[in-house]
Amino acid sequence: MALETERKTEAIFISTPAQKQKDRILLLLRLVAFLATASATIVMALNKQTNTLVVATVGNNPIKASLTAKFQHTPAFVFFVVANVMASFHNLLILLLEIVGHKIDYKGLRLAIIAILDMLIVVLAAAGDGAALFMAELGKNGNSHARWNKICDKFQTFCDHGSGALIASFIGLILLLIINIISIAKLFNPKSYNTI
- In the complex, the residues that contact another protein under the rule CB under 8 A are 69, 73-76, 79, 109, 112, 115-116, 119-120, 122-124, 126-135, 137-139, 143, 145-149, 151, 177, 180-181, 184-185, 187-188
Nearer to another protein, 67 or 96 (CB): 67
Rounded to a whole number of angstroms, the minimum distance from the CB of residue 185 to another protein is: 7
CA distance 34 to 55: 45
CA distance 194 to 10: 5
Nearer to another protein, 99 or 143 (CB): 143
CA distance 14 to 124: 33
Nearer to another protein, 103 or 145 (CB): 145
Rounded to a whole number of angstroms, the minimum distance from the CB of residue 99 to another protein is: 25
SS3 151: coil
Cβ proximity of 132 and 87 under 8 Å: no
